[in-house]
């Protein structure tokens, strides 16, 4: 699989990364429902076997459960064969399973130490501020991360879900290695300002939810949406309920022939599409079981033709027009 350099750093990421948001389970407000731990570990191992060289996780995913599973999956793996690890700080689980932002220096340092323990590593390859919440504390958190980097606890520092203005506030303190935003056929907001700014300033982009949280896999259906459990946060996401759900599934059916004509799975096309942008370093694919990475991995090396890109653009413009008629938008950072 091809690799791309992460911004101005020395890290090289494969164009597909293993995402572990969902394997954190469903016992919190942004969970994905119950998770089979053996399947999760097997999925991580399969992704590595297929050539993926990095994993994205976060302390808040299942209140540490995701990091524990990543550590378990990598525990017996020789150091030279281990993938790069990216994780995040700044989100704290509350007693009622909701999430609150905390970016004070002592909290960031404490979270880092806890993540190192759960992951079973001496250094984190990429450490990220998960959300700029509270906004007034992002500089304090960023300065704490610089200290952690200087202490050898982390190799590179980046952010997730930050605005361009917030990036500009952090850059003078220490260069931002990467931005992790949502980006998919169903959410193109970052094309307006974020991607141009990151490209101009040498900031890597590792996008999450390129599959639209499963909507773009080619396997999702109205019946599956209706069956989502209360533990799955997607059951509360407007993209998974009519009228947006209907429009999103129409996109899938429109792009399905493009994938079939190329001998590819539908799930590979959304990945190839986000990777068409030179600013994008890698796309994160959620892996709850081996088959998910097996079905998507080919998207990391698929270069779409101009004709294919034009066909996709026409489909997406039609969806945008229908959303506008309904007075709705699918933009947003979750």
Helix, coil or strand: residue 330: coil
Global confidence as pTM: 0.96
Nearest partner of 69 among 20, 132, 142, judged by Cα? 20
Written as six digits, the tokens of 191 are 């094309």
Each residue's pLDDT tens digit, 200-251: 999 999 999 999 999 999 999 999 999 999 888 999 999 999 999 999 999 9
Domain annotation for the chain: domains and CATH numbers? 3-218+266-302 (3.20.20.100)
Each residue's pLDDT tens digit, 96-137: 888 999 999 999 999 999 999 999 999 999 999 999 999 999
- Calculate mean pLDDT across residues 145-173: 98
Whether residue 34 has pLDDT greater than 90: no
Are the CB atoms for 305 and 261 separated by under 8 Å? no
- Quick check: is 61 catalytic? yes
Pairwise CA distance, residues 232 & 114, whole Å: 26
Model pLDDT, residue 333: 59
Each residue's pLDDT tens digit, 267-291: 999 999 999 999 999 999 999 999 9
Are the CB atoms for 129 and 90 separated by under 8 Å? yes
Whether residue 331 has pLDDT greater than 80: no
Identified catalytic residue from 61, 127, 183, 208? 61
Model pLDDT, residue 41: 96
Instruction: Identify any residues that bridge with 91 across adjacent strands, giving them in sequence order.
Output: 101
Written as six digits, the tokens of 167 are 């990036």
Dmax of the chain from CA atoms?
55
């Amino acid at each position: 699989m091809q690799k791309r350099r992460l911004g101005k750093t020395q890290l090289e990421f494969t164009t597909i990364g293993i995402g572990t948001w969902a394997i954190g389970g469903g016992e919190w407000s942004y969970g994905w429902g119950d998770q089979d731990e053996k399947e999760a570990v097997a999925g991580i191992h399969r992704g590595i076997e297929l050539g993926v060289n990095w994993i994205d996780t976060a302390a808040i995913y299942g209140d540490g459960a995701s990091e524990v599973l990543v550590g378990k999956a990598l525990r017996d793996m020789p150091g030279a064969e281990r993938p790069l690890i990216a994780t995040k700080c700044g989100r704290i689980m509350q007693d009622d399973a909701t999430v609150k932002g905390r970016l004070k220096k002592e909290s960031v340092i404490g979270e880092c130490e806890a993540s190192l323990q759960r992951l079973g590593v001496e250094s984190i390859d990429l450490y990220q501020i998960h959300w700029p919440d509270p906004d007034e504390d992002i500089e304090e958190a960023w300065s704490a991360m610089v200290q952690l980097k200087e202490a050898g606890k982390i190799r590179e520092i980046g952010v997730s879900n930050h605005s361009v203005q917030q990036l500009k506030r952090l850059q003078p303190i220490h260069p931002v290695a990467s931005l992790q935003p949502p980006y998919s056929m169903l959410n193109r907001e970052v094309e307006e300002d974020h991607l141009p700014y990151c490209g101009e300033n040498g900031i890597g982009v590792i996008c999450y939810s390129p599959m639209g949280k499963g909507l773009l896999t080619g396997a999702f259906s109205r019946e599956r949406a209706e069956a989502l459990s209360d533990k799955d946060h997607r059951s509360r996401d407007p993209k998974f309920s009519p009228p947006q759900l209907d429009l999103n599934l129409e996109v899938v059916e429109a792009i399905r022939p493009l994938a079939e004509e190329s001998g590819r799975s539908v799930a590979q096309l959304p990945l190839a599409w986000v990777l068409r942008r030179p600013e994008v370093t890698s796309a994160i694919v959620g892996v709850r079981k081996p088959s998910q990475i097996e079905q998507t991995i080919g998207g990391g090396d698929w270069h779409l033709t101009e004709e294919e890109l034009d066909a996709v653009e026409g489909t997406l413009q039609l969806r945008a027009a229908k959303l506008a008629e309904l007075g709705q938008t699918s933009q947003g950072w979750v």
